[in-house]
């Protein structure tokens, strides 16, 4: 689906606010104050896009749909002097989505609905709000926008829900404000927001290096079917990386590198080969912090999944299956097992952030 090997972004600068780019409470760390946020966009879907001074009367809102991700390989290097880690992070975008709607407002505000919406910060720590602020600042505007997040991606689940919201807000605000910001600049803002945010914009399949923000799109030769078991509660990405460092203390952590076998399995669309190559260096840390995830992984494989792993920093667990029928069966078995709150089916790869209305 995602063809080519040209780097999407190389050596993107900016701050690194989130370890590994995932969120501790889906889009920001803490915060409860009602907030402000917005996002920019590429091609507008509706007519009547506003000029750089704000939305015109013919365009009252822009909605952008953004997918979740699964890391089919997450290779983690030793901690760097800045506290972050070099990664070889192979992303696939999957068909679970958040939608971010940007509407003109007197000030920056964020609202949220959907599963676990009460756990999403509604202050300026939310990546959607920060995306609006960064985009507005680059264009000399005031970020006067209401951002509404309709969540369907698990919160703090290792599937980049907060990063998705940041990318969605960026694209929605760009369209709402009629800015036509070059894609390279949007990607630069994404990298400033967090390590996973650029992939949320790009979608498809990609290899992330550096702290995960430098992307090279990857070719994929077919569709892959997944089941995701959603756990109760979340896991903080920084805490999981801290546990990785603790477990690795005194050992020689190799430099991260993408698996040639895994990349070939993606290129050819070989589900069985991909199942044999799935790997997540954070899995041991996630299991150390949440031992109950081992029972979830076992329940899925016992039900017929070809392979299982913790998704990113967890606690969502991912199961690669043969086809759609197998996905239904594994999801039903996981739900009945009592080892997870719910199970969701999805396919990959899918496009990144896109305006839908």
Q: What is the pLDDT of residues 133-155, one digit of tens each?
A: 999 999 999 999 999 999 999 99
For residues 180-194, average pLDDT: 96
Distance CA 132, CA 149 (A): 13
31: its two tokens: 């915060």
- pTM here is 0.83
pLDDT value for 59: 55
Report, as residue numbers or ranges, the catalytic residues.
Answer: 69, 196
Q: Is the pLDDT of residue 82 over 80?
A: yes
What is the SS3 assignment for the chain? CCCCCCECCCCCCCCCCCHHHCCCCCCCCCCCCCECCCCECCCCCCCCCCECCECCCCCCCEEEEEEEEEEEEEEEEEECCCCCEEEEEEEEEEEEEEEEEEEECCCCEEEEECCCHHHCCCCCCCHHHHHHHHHHHHCCCCCCEEEEEECCCCCCCCCCHHHHHHHHHHHHHHHHCCCCCCHHHHHHHHHHHCCCHHHHHHECEEEEECCCCEEEECCCCCCEEEEEEECCCCCCHHHHHHHHHHHHCCCCCCCCCCCHHHHHHHHHCCHHHHHHHCEECCHHHHHHHCCCHHHHHHHHHHCCCCEEEECCCCCCEEEEECCHHHHHHHHHHHHHHCCCCEEEEEEECCECCEECC
Q: Is the pLDDT at 31 greater than 50, yes or no?
A: no
Average pLDDT for 282-310: 97
**Reported confidence tier of residue 95, pLDDT bands at 50, 70, 90:** very high
| Per-residue pLDDT, 1 | 40
Q: Supply the pLDDT for residue 156.
A: 85
Residue-wise pLDDT tens digits, 251-260: 999 999 999 9
Residue pointed to by tokens 């979608």: 203
Q: What is the mean pLDDT of residues 170-182?
A: 97
Q: What span, in angstroms and rounded, lies between the C-alpha atoms of 270 and 276?
A: 10
The whole-chain average pLDDT of the chain stands at 86
């Amino acid at each position: 689906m995602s063809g080519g090997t040209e780097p999407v972004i190389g050596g993107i600068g900016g701050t690194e606010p989130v370890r590994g780019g995932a969120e501790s409470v889906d889009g920001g760390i803490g915060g409860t104050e009602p907030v402000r946020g917005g996002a920019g966009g590429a091609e507008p879907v509706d007519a009547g896009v506003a000029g750089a001074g704000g939305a015109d009367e013919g365009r009252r809102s822009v909605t952008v749909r953004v997918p979740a991700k699964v890391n089919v390989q997450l290779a983690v290097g030793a901690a760097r002097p800045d506290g972050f880690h070099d990664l070889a992070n192979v992303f696939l975008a999957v068909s679970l989505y958040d939608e971010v709607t940007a509407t003109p407002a007197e000030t920056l505000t964020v609202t949220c609905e959907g599963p676990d919406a009460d756990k999403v910060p509604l202050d300026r720590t939310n990546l959607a709000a920060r995306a609006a602020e960064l985009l507005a600042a680059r264009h000399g505007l005031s970020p006067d926008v209401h951002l509404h997040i309709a969540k369907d991606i698990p919160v703090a689940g290792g599937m980049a829900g907060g990063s998705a919201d940041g990318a969605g807000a960026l694209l929605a605000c760009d369209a709402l404000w009629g800015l036509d910001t070059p894609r390279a600049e949007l990607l630069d803002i994404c990298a400033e927001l967090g390590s996973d945010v650029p992939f949320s914009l790009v979608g498809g399949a990609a290899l992330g290096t550096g702290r995960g923000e430098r992307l090279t799109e990857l070719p994929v030769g077919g569709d892959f079917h997944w089941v995701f078991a959603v756990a109760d509660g979340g896991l903080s990405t920084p805490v999981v990386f801290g546990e990785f460092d603790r477990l690795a203390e005194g050992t020689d952590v190799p430099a991260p590198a993408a698996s040639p076998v895994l990349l070939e399995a993606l290129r050819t669309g070989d589900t069985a080969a991909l199942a044999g190559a799935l790997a997540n260096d954070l899995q041991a840390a996630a299991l150390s912090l949440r031992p109950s995830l081992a029972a979830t992984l076992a329940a899925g494989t016992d039900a017929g999944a070809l392979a299982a792993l913790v998704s990113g920093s967890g606690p969502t667990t991912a199961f690669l299956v043969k086809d759609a029928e197998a996905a239904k069966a594994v999801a039903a078995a996981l739900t009945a097992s009592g080892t997870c709150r719910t199970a969701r089916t999805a396919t990959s790869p899918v496009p990144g952030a896109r305006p839908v209305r």
